[in-house]
Amino acid sequence: MFKPSESGVMTRSRKGWRSRVAANDRRRSPTSAANLPAKTPAALHLHDKQSERDYRELPIDKVGVRGLRFPIQVRDKERTVQNTVATIGLFVDLPKEFKGTHMSRFIEVLNAHGNVIHVENLTDILHAMQARFRAATSRLEMEFPYFMVKQAPVTKLESVIDYVARFDASACGRKVDFVLTVKANVTTLCPCSKAIAAYGAHNQRGGVTVQIRSRKSVWIEDLIRIIESSASSELYALLKRQDEKAVTERAYEHPVFVEDLVRNVAVKLKAHPDVTWYKVEAENQESIHNHNAYACIEKR
């Protein structure tokens, strides 16, 4: 049984545990040992508060760093690479015996991939965290803008348009869980408004968020395609008048309630051979109200 000293630091009577921690620390932090300049020998004696014993009998589910912005590269469906900027969170679990986590190790793991990290290496990052922290579970969250080139429907003029993608990944032992999220904005035109008005129909920008788990990789582009084909119309950056005419008419011909939008997407995800779980949300910035219409379907 552990007894803390007055200052809370482990005494020699708990040598076994403490030296294990100290050894882990050296093993876990080769970087710090390796790079320690000769001029700061005192560094090795700086008290390690995080490794002190904790007695509240409370393991921590998730602890780490959040809100880190970092440049990344993402491989897209055409097998080219795009550069973007991610907002990143990195976490591990913390057993009840330990007072704290050595937060700097998260930064070391991230920067170990160079000044730009590659999204194919997510599993490497998860396992690296498990190793560095001797953690059972590690987690990563990474959200970033994602770009595609689109052709306008009639003139075929090309322009870049942005979406948002997000990875939530966790490793528990060797088991890896990965949720891909894609957010795309679309045009939604109201069927009720169209049905009852003598002319016109209210429409607006709506946002669709799709989260999936899958047995094989699913491309971000494929989820974007699913979302955009479920709406009254997809969005474009560049539309000349001929294109604007086409999208206006297409939206009018394909009215969808926010309920239709999530159902259309869900039908396609249900039919997708690789998708094992999904959650679809849609939120319309209603053009006639100062509030939004919202709907959500989650696979049971």
263 lies in the binding site for a second copy (CB under 8 A): yes
Task: For the CB of residue 198, give the shortest distance to a second copy in the complex, in Å.
Answer: 6
Task: Write out the H or E segment, with its range, that includes residue 164.
Answer: strand 158-172
Pairing of strands 233-234, 275-284: unpaired
Establish if 48 lies at the interface with a second copy (CB under 8 A). yes
Single-letter code of the amino acid located at 93: D
Nearer residue to a second copy within complex by CB, 130 or 185: 185
Q: Which is nearer to a second copy, 6 or 216 (CB)?
A: 6
Which residue, 1 or 195, is less far from a second copy as judged by CB? Answer: 195
Interface with a second copy in residues 100-139 (CB under 8 A): 100-101, 103-104, 107-108, 111, 115
Give the footprint of a second copy on residues 66-95 (CB under 8 A): 66-71, 82-85, 89, 91, 94
Query: Contact 103/77 with Cβ under 8 angstroms?
Result: no
Which of 131, 157, 172, 179 touches a second copy by CB under 8 A? 157
Report if residue 177 touches a second copy, rule: CB under 8 A. no
> Which distant-in-sequence residues (6+ apart) come within 8 Å of 149 by Cβ?
158, 159, 160, 161
Q: Which residues make Cβ contacts (< 8 Å) with residue 99, sequence separation at least 6?
A: 49, 50, 51, 52, 53, 54
- Which residue in the set 4, 32, 124, 272 belongs to the binding site for a second copy (CB under 8 A)? 32
Q: From residue 111, give the alpha-carbon distance in Å to each of 36, 50, 104, 263, 266.
A: 18, 22, 11, 42, 38
Among 137, 181, 204, 209, binds a second copy (CB under 8 A): 204
Total Cβ atoms within 10 A of residue 284: 25
Position 36 contacts a second copy (CB under 8 A): yes
**Binder to a second copy among 147, 177, 217, 276 (CB under 8 A)?**
147
Among residues 215, 228, 206, which one has the least CA distance to residue 272?
A: 215
Residue in this structure with the two tokens 């007894």, named with its chain if needed: 3
> How many residues line the site for a second copy (CB under 8 A)?
116
Which lies closer to a second copy via its Cβ, residue 16 or residue 177? 177
Site for a second copy in 209-228 (CB under 8 A): none
Selected binder of a second copy within 12, 174, 216, 241 (CB under 8 A): 241
Q: Which of 155, 172, 178, 219 binds a second copy (CB under 8 A)?
A: 155
Q: Report the distance separating Cα 283 and Cα 16, nearest Å.
A: 56
